[in-house]
Structure 1
C-alpha cells in the first residue's frame, strides 16, 4: 500500500463532491449512479493519476457519465448527501492507496454496504476505516456486513483461538 499524498487527497475530495452532487443532478438512485461511475471511463481515467491535471468540473463529469450510459430515472432511493460524500471519498482513497481500479474496489464492496458503515466509521481517519472494513471482508468475496457487531465478535473469537485463549 502506498501513502496518500496531496494529489490523492484532492482526487478524493473531487470524487466525494461528484458523488454528493449526483443526489441533486441525477434522476436515478444513488446505487445506480455509483455503479455507473465506478465502471465508467471517467473512473478509469481517475485511476490513472494523470487525471488530476484535467480541468473537468464536477458538473461536466456527471454529464460525461450520462453521455456514456444515457440518462436514467431507474430507482428512487437516494443516499444522504454526507453519506454520498463519504462513500465517494472512501472509494477513491481505497483505490489510490491500494493501486486497485475503481472497478476492483466496487466489486469488493458495494455502496449499500458502505452506506451501512457510514455512521460507525465516518469520523475515523479514512485509512483506519478502510483497514476495519477489510477486516470484515474475506479475500475475493463480497460479504454482507450489515451486522457489524457479529463480524467483530467473530473476528475476536478467531483471534482468541489463534492466541490459544479459547478452545
Structure 2
C-alpha cells in the first residue's frame, strides 16, 4: 500500500465527505461527480499545496458551485456509502498514480464507480484502483475490434 502522509489521508477523507455532502444537499450525483472531477476546484486539490485543501468540504462545495454556476439539483441519487467511497478513492488514486482528477474521471466515471462500488468497496483501495484501470483497458480494447 502506498505510504500516504497523514495530510494526504485527511484529504482523501475530506473528499469522501465532500461527495457525501453533495448527496445530502440533494445534488444529482453523476452530474456532481462529473462537474467536480473536471473542475478547477479538483485541480486545486491535485496540486502539491493549495489553500483549498484545508478549507473543509462545505467550503469546497461552495467553491465548486460558484465555479460551475450552480450544481444540478435532483436527478440520480447514489448511496451515501458509494459517494464517500468514490470521493475517497478518486483522491487516493491521485496520490497512488500521480494522475489528475480529469484523467482519473475519464478512466472511471460516475456510472462506473457506482456500478463497481458493491464489489470493489471491500477491496484494499489500491486493488480497487488497479481493477478500475484494468476494466477501462478491457473496455477500450473491446471497442477497437
Query: What range describes the TM-score normalised by the shorter chain of this pair?
Result: 0.7 to 0.9
- Tell me, yes or no, if the aligned pair for 1:109 and 1:142 is still in contact at 8 Å: no
Instruction: Name the CA distance, whole Å, in 1 between partners of 2:141 and 2:19.
Output: 22
C-alpha distance in structure 1 between counterparts of 2:105 and 2:140, whole Å: 12
3-state DSSP of counterpart to 2:85: helix
- Equivalent residue pairs, number: 143
Superposition deviation, residue 4 in structure 1: 2.8
Change over 3 Å in CA distance of 1:117–1:38 after alignment to 2: same
Aligned Cα root-mean-square deviation (Å): 2.6
Unmatched 5+ stretches in structure 1: 145-167
Q: CA deviation at 1:141?
A: 3.7
Using structure 1 for the length normalisation, give the TM-score.
0.76
- Name the CA shift for 1:70/1:103 in 2 (closer, same or farther; >3 Å): same
Q: Distance in 2 between the 1:51 and 1:78 partners? A: 30
Q: Which has the higher contact order (CA 8 A, sep 6+)?
A: 2
Kindly state the Cα deviation for residue 104 of structure 1 after the two structures are TM-superposed: 0.6
Give deviations 1:3-30, integer Å, cap 9, x for gaps: 4332221111110000011001244x10
Match of 2:81 in 1: 82
What are the superposed Cα offsets for residues 34-66 of structure 1, whole Å, 9 maximum, x if unpaired?
Answer: 111111111111101213785312111111111
Q: Distance in 2 between matches of 1:139 and 1:71?
A: 35
**8 A Cα contact 1:31 1:111, kept in partner:** yes
Is there any run of 5+ residues in structure 2 with no aligned partner, and where?
Answer: none
Q: Could you say which residue in structure 2 is the equivalent of 1:155? A: none
Report if the CA contact (8 A) 2:26-2:74 is conserved. no
> What's 1:69 paired with?
68
The 10-residue stretch of structure 1 (54-63 or 14-23) with the greater mean CA deviation from structure 2: 54-63
Please report the TM-score for the alignment, with normalisation by the length of structure 2: 0.86
